[in-house]
Amino acid sequence: MGDRGIQQGYDVLVIGAGLAGMRAALAAHRQGARVAVMSKVHPVRSHSNAAQGGINAALTDRGDSWEDHAYDTVKGSDWLGDQDAIEVMCQEAGQEIIGLEHMGVIFNRDERGRLGARAFGGQRRARSFFVADITGQAILHVMYEQILKAGVPILEEWFCTDLIVEDGRCVGCVALEIRTGRVEAIPARTVVLATGGLGRVFEPSTNALICTGDGLTLAYRAGAPLMDMEMVQYHPTTLKGSGVLITEGARGEGAYLLNKHGERFMARYAPKMMELASRDVVSRAEMTEILEGRGVDGCVLLDCRHLGEKRIRERLSQIYDIARDYAGVDITREPIPIRPGMHYQMGGIKTDVWGRCWDPTGRWQGVEGLFAAGECACVSVHGANRLGANSLLDTLVFGRRAGETAARWAQERPLPSVNFPHWRQRREEGIRSLLAREVNADSIARIRWEMGTTMDSFLGVFRDREGIERALHTLRGLRERYERVGVRDKGRTFNTALLFALELDFMLECAEAIAISALTRTESRGAHFRRDYPQRDDVHWLKHILLYRNPNGEFPRIAYLPVTITRWPPQERSY
Amino acid sequence: MKFAFFPGCVSRGGCPELYPSAVAVARKVGLELEELTGASCTGAGVLQESNPFLGDCLNARTFAMAERLGLPILTICSTCQGVMSQAHVRLRDEAYRERVNGVLAEEGLSYRGQAQAKHLLWVLVEDIGLERVKAMVVRPLRGLRVAPFYGCYLVRPSKVLGYDERPERLRALERLIEALGAEPVDFPGKTRCCGFPILTINEGNAVAMVAQHTLDAKERGADAMVTPCPLCHLNLDGYQVKAMGRVKERIDLPILHLPQLVGLALGIDPKTLRLGRHLISAAPVLERLGPVAVKGV
Amino acid sequence: MRVTLKVRRYNPEAPHPRPYWQEYSLEVEQSATVLDALLRIREEVDESLALRCSCRSAICGSCAMRINGQATLACKTRLAAVAGQDGVLTVEPMGNLPVVKDLVVDMAPHWQKVRAVEAWLQPTGPEPEGEYLVPNEAMLHLAEVMNCIMCGACVSDCTVLEVDPTFLGPAALAKAYRFVADPRDGATKERLGKYTAPGGVWDCTRCFACVEVCPKGVAPMERIMALRERAIAAGYTDTYGARHTLAFAELVEHSGRLDELRLPLKTFGYTNVPQLVGLLPVAVRALARRKAPSPFHKPIPGVAAFRRTVRRARQASPTAGKQATGGSR
């Protein structure tokens, strides 16, 4: 990685090289901007590759309509999704899918050689396009190929520690080169955050170890608001213990959910859609079965046997392997025990439909020059609950928009004069003092574990005031412990212990934001279920919760934004 | 024990010392051999590159000949073994086997899917058994340190070569070396590639592999290397001088065929074993073993 | 059960940096993986142990390393399967790549080679309005190769890369195959030309190491063989590799046994003086030891019937008609 590039800076610096990040970088590059992508792992290691099931698009030549897709998404979001953003996503889905196919993504085909679709949860039509059960991986690798082809520089294994903000504008970032431990301040006219989710805040989680909410805290500390943080999705089918994901595609292919009596219990919770009801509905159903004693060892059963060996091998080979390798189960012969596990963050950094983390019309405050896309962003298209196969679509549509918009915005706005060395020095000193701290009996790992299990207990599928307040109290204690804990590896070469410490810092902040937001929303909607407020309350709560960080460690400032309704006034949500 | 003997192409071509030594050892340990004189080359994986179906037909033809005799096949070459095992697994598919048999029909041959090849190494270790082999040793190879070089096709792909059912095959050669009274020498290259397949394509790399493996073995104290594959022998022995030229170091590691090593321990004389034929002299091995110290005489 | 991990460590910041072994013993569950153990070691015993890992479910490719000398994914390897009778297993960084620290290697050579094979779709002609129409079988076939997560296990254990770092290698060539086999790619001929150049497909020794270690069933060597087949069919027959393959087939089909004397002659060409001269030293030595194949090569008995069988097999084979025949030169 040429040092000259880092010194000179970029028009668009994308942080995060998953689907959203690489799509943004590609789009910015095509606009003629000087772009670089930064990632704390090699791009193909990004967690986008774990998305198994598919990507949604309503193709009109199939007799589908984007309005149907949009309605399904609005309903799935339990009416918290902003309908203008949802319309944009659903309108542009078809063009995005074709674009992907032209770039080289394989996609399963029907007998005429056209893209073949399958059914997915929460949708009335089969409109999820897929590549066996490796859709995310397949698209991610093609994105990487396109980045290689375009020659976009990749700052591989660089960890972003701070955003540089001067006079309300983001002008770059500070980052740590993992291999050497050196710290650099990198100027950029715009920064696009595409850092993914925060699954490791919870324990267990389906997420990879790298999903630590970095971008959310970076933006939060820079002065941008976090929105809908309480909306955390629990995926219905994860392996007990490790939390490894079993794709919804299994249910899309027709697998059943059974309790200990062998009953397809979804008939009692979602009689029409059954196992393909929306994820929050299914997760709550499973959790209820388990808590009321009809589970098997803290789990329910996913039964694929009736699908037959051929179908399983052709379409679900990855979950066949996962079940065999991590649970010792042959899904052609036995059902596999699963339980809900934390999976996705609907909330995130507030953006508009162009990926901007500020509102030029001034309806809400933000940070100029800062953009976000993908799971770390909240436009919001997923509202209170995300439909399967909409996340991949979200990353690509809004990744592209953020990249294009950033490139255009950057072209007209040269950088002001900024004391970059000062920012660099500050972080360098911060790292030195962190490493110099005396080691005590506590450890980063222990603090993270306690945070994760606390969040799973009190901010999981079912919540209430008492539990959330307990969680907040625990989190405060963990933050204090964090400020004192020592790092046992004092080196600068590939110091993963240092990375974990930096990530834990980010995670604790995210955890608190989730808890505060959950405490604030006194209703139940989508994935957020309050035992003490079990009903949806459109009169008071058809709005988003925005959190603005208070630098002195006090409670964040809370603001609200009404949900944008275009064509679908709120209805009862039943499946 | 009776076997349909498949000597392969090289044991009478570039390694003419292998055939007589293998036959001598087989006789000594009580194996009756009926040679499949009409059988063809296995294809060695090279033929399979240009026409996999033809390769399967040739091997099915050999299997069918053995089935006609009602005998299992004995091989003395890792490459033959590997190629035949791969073919055997592919030919398990009934429909495919039928297609192949359609081609063989005119010669009056038909493969029923039973006959399989088994390498002399496994026959010694499994069918005869190490205890019996040990009892037959009249000249224990004491003091001789031998590095085993398996040959790729005897170890990979492990699924077709029976390693799942018989994981002890992973150390078959070492255990045999021990049973003969010698000391096996462990070194990183023992299951790697000798380079023979690319000899005419990238001689530099092929020679580099010879240098690496023989030097590694020598540095770990080996007096000799033993290999169950004549193709490996051609490279490790035949190109060792070039290897020495490349690394500018003396190696001079004698390379023995499996039956030669076994034959020495069983008291077969070196001339019968054609030990004088190698390009890298095997004399140091004979010197180290000393005058014939025959057990029980 | 109790396991002991012997881990190969290396710290470049040590006063005299050199690799060394460090042992860690711990009590683990029956179903635990090597990665589970390494993460516990890192969290509870030794925070300085450096390794790459992320998804824990064999999809990101970060945690490739050599366990008991063979490359694999740590997250997919059960301790019970690899711990010896004494509960010991060795854990080392991948081979054929420079070690940065402990189990972390520099993957740059690997990524460079992926770029070198131009691993991106190169369609020709006007883009269709909708999707390209391609049969599902073609896509399913490609999906097998797309299973590759670029973990580097094949690169680690490739026996050619061990002696020759300029070899393109199994991962890059498997990726290359993915484009040659894609009906939408329009650069097949040029690609095959590049991949058959020195350092390309003909440098593979067919040792199956990559097939053996690939955690995703990609079988890189089979893809390399498929590239060879396509290269020959496309007319790239003038490399020693192609000539060798064609000569081998011709000789065996003619006499039923391999004529080892004629094989190198046909491969190099009877008038290729420099190469033939290069064979002389070994040939002379071999002749002196009477260790050479006879120039009077005997066919197998019943060779006429054999040749007819070969002809029938060729006619019936799926590759019939795509064969470029090599003549003697």
Can you spell out the DSSP letters for C101-160? Answer: ETTEE--HHHHHHHHHTT-S----SPPPSSPPP--HHHHHHHHHHHT-----HHHHH-HH
**How far is the C-alpha of A560 from the C-alpha of A350, rounded, in Å?**
12
For residue C9, the SS3 value is: strand
- Triad B217, B221, B227: Cα angle to 5°: 40
**Weakest mean pLDDT among A190-199, A208-217, A292-301, C315-324:** C315-324
**How far is the C-alpha of A30 from the C-alpha of A46, rounded, in Å?**
23
| C-alpha neighbours within 13 Å on the C-beta side of residue B33 | 21
- Taking residue C11's Cβ as centre, other Cβ atoms within 10 Å add up to 18
pLDDT value, residue A241: 74
φ/ψ region of A308 (left if φ > 0, alpha if ψ in -120 to 50, else beta) reads: left
**Average pLDDT score, chain B:** 94
> What is the pLDDT averaged over residues A243-264?
88
- Residue B50: which pLDDT band, with cuts at 50, 70 and 90? confident
Q: Domain check: are B54 and B177 in the same one?
A: no
Is residue B252 situated within a structural domain? yes
Catalogue all structural domains in chain C, each as residue range(s) with its CATH number: 2-105 (3.10.20.30), 113-233 (1.10.1060.10), 247-316 (no CATH)
In total, chain C counts a number of residues equal to 329
Tell me the pLDDT tens digit for each residue of A103-150: 999 998 988 889 988 877 667 778 889 888 789 999 999 999 999 999
Chain A residues with CB-CB distance to C176 below 8 A: none
Can you spell out the DSSP letters for A125-168? Answer: S--EE-STT-HHHHHHHHHHHHHHHHT--EEETEEEEEEEEETT
For residue B267, the SS3 value is: coil
**How far is the C-alpha of A216 from the C-alpha of A348, rounded, in Å?**
6
**How far is the C-alpha of C212 from the C-alpha of C206, rounded, in Å?**
12
> What is the pLDDT averaged over residues B139-161?
96
Clarify whether A34 is annotated catalytic: no
Q: Domain check: are B7 and B78 in the same one?
A: yes
Q: Domain check: are B152 and B252 in the same one?
A: yes
End-to-end CA distance of chain C: 65
pLDDT value, residue A124: 76
**How far is the C-alpha of A83 from the C-alpha of A568, rounded, in Å?**
8
> How far does the CA of residue C23 sit from the closest CA of chain B (Å)?
21
Q: Which residue of C has its CA nearest to B53?
A: C317
Clarify whether A235 is annotated catalytic: yes
Tell me the pLDDT tens digit for each residue of B6-23: 999 999 888 999 999 999
pLDDT value, residue B164: 92
Tell me the pLDDT tens digit for each residue of A289-312: 998 999 998 899 999 999 999 988
**How far is the C-alpha of B133 from the C-alpha of B128, rounded, in Å?**
7
pLDDT value, residue A13: 98
Tell me the two tokens of residue C268: 């190099």
Evaluate if residue B295 carries a pLDDT over 70.
Answer: no
How far is the CA of A59 from the CAs of A66, A70, A387, B294, in angstroms?
8, 13, 18, 85
Catalytic residue among A127, A235, A408, A536: A235
pLDDT value, residue C321: 38
End-to-end CA distance of chain A: 52
**Average pLDDT score, chain A:** 94
**How far is the C-alpha of B257 from the C-alpha of A344, rounded, in Å?**
61
Q: Where are the domains of chain A?
A: 238-339, 420-531
Q: Which of C170, C173, C251, C254 is nearest to C213 (CA)?
A: C170
**How far is the C-alpha of A187 from the C-alpha of B77, rounded, in Å?**
64
- Residue B294: which pLDDT band, with cuts at 50, 70 and 90? very low
Is residue B271 situated within a structural domain? yes
**How far is the C-alpha of C259 from the C-alpha of A151, rounded, in Å?**
50
Evaluate if residue A249 carries a pLDDT over 80.
Answer: no
Helix runs in chain C, H state only: 34-40, 79-82, 108-116, 136-146, 153-157, 159-163, 170-180, 188-195, 209-213, 220-233, 240-255, 262-268, 273-288, 303-316
pLDDT value, residue C286: 87
Sequence-distant contacts of B83-86: CB under 8 A, at least 24 apart:
B83/B42, B83/B43, B83/B44, B83/B45, B83/B48, B83/B55, B83/B59, B83/B153, B84/B6, B84/B42, B84/B59, B84/B116, B84/B117, B85/B116, B85/B117, B85/B160, B85/B161, B85/B162, B86/B157, B86/B160
Any idea what the CATH number is for the domain that residue B58 is in? Answer: 1.20.1050.140
pLDDT value, residue C157: 98
Is residue B127 situated within a structural domain? no
Q: Domain check: are B212 and B108 in the same one?
A: no
pLDDT value, residue C322: 38
Q: Which residues 184-203 on chain B approach chain C with CB closer than 8 angstroms?
A: 188, 192-193, 195-198, 200-203
Q: Do C54 and A148 touch (CB under 8 A)?
A: no
**DSSP state, residue C197:** S
Evaluate if residue A3 carries a pLDDT over 90.
Answer: no
The bridge status of strand A10-15 relative to strand B183-184 is unpaired
Pick from B85, B118, B151: which residue ends a domain? B118
B152 touches chain C (CB under 8 A): yes
pTM across the whole model: 0.93
Q: Which of A570, A1, A510 is nearest to A230 (CA)?
A: A510
B67 touches chain C (CB under 8 A): no
**Average pLDDT score, chain C:** 92
pLDDT value, residue C319: 56
> What is the pLDDT averaged over residues A50-66?
86
Closest to C133 (Cβ–Cβ): which among A44, A114, A314?
A114
**How far is the C-alpha of A488 from the C-alpha of A444, rounded, in Å?**
10
Q: Domain check: are B165 and B90 in the same one?
A: no
Tell me the pLDDT tens digit for each residue of A520-575: 999 999 999 999 999 999 999 999 999 999 987 689 999 999 999 999 999 998 77
How far is the CA of A437 from the CAs of A87, A444, A448, B109, in angstroms?
51, 13, 18, 80
Evaluate if residue A10 carries a pLDDT over 90.
Answer: yes
ipTM score assigned to the predicted complex: 0.92
**How far is the C-alpha of B124 from the C-alpha of B131, rounded, in Å?**
10
Class for the domain spanning A238-339: alpha beta
Q: Domain check: are B244 and B142 in the same one?
A: yes
pLDDT value, residue C327: 30
Residue A558 identity (one-letter amino acid): I
Q: Do B49 and C245 touch (CB under 8 A)?
A: yes
| C-alpha neighbours within 13 Å on the C-beta side of residue A414 | 3
The residues near A526 (Cβ < 8 Å, ≥ 6 apart) are A77, A78, A80, A231, A280, A346, A383, A384, A385
Tell me the pLDDT tens digit for each residue of A205-248: 999 999 999 999 999 999 999 999 999 999 999 988 778 888 87
**How far is the C-alpha of A447 from the C-alpha of A297, rounded, in Å?**
28
Q: Options 3.30.2320.20, 1.20.58.100, 1.25.40.10, 1.10.340.30; which CATH number does A420-531 get?
A: 1.20.58.100
Contact exists between C and B (3 or more beta carbon pairs < 8 Å): yes
> How far does the CA of residue A300 sit from the closest CA of chain C (Å)?
20
Residue C177 identity (one-letter amino acid): Y
C299 touches chain B (CB under 8 A): no
Q: Do B53 and C244 touch (CB under 8 A)?
A: no
Evaluate if residue A8 carries a pLDDT over 80.
Answer: yes
- Residue C124: which pLDDT band, with cuts at 50, 70 and 90? confident
Q: Which domain holds residue B164?
A: 138-289
Q: Which helix (H) or strand (E) holds A88?
A: helix A83-103
Tell me the two tokens of residue A194: 């595409």
Q: Do domains A238-339 and A420-531 have the same CATH topology?
A: no
C11 touches chain B (CB under 8 A): no
**How far is the C-alpha of A526 from the C-alpha of A518, rounded, in Å?**
12
Tell me the two tokens of residue A375: 């799971």
Query: What are residue A338's phi and psi, to 5 degrees?
Result: -135, 165
The residues near A412 (Cβ < 8 Å, ≥ 6 apart) are none
Q: Domain check: are B58 and B143 in the same one?
A: no
Are A194 and A399 in contact by the 8 Å Cβ rule? The answer is yes
Are B139 and B294 in contact by the 8 Å Cβ rule? The answer is yes
Evaluate if residue C328 carries a pLDDT over 50.
Answer: no
For residue C91, the SS3 value is: strand
For chain B, how many structural domains are there in total?
2
> What is the pLDDT averaged over residues B105-132?
95
pLDDT value, residue A2: 60
In total, the C-beta contacts within 8 angstroms joining chain A to chain C are 159
pLDDT value, residue A315: 77
Chain A residues with CB-CB distance to C44 below 8 A: 443, 445
Q: Domain check: are B281 and B171 in the same one?
A: yes
Tell me the pLDDT tens digit for each residue of A480-498: 999 999 999 999 999 999 9
Catalytic residue among A251, A343, A492, A525: A251
Tell me the pLDDT tens digit for each residue of C203-223: 999 999 999 999 999 999 999
B35 touches chain C (CB under 8 A): no
Q: Domain check: are B81 and B142 in the same one?
A: no
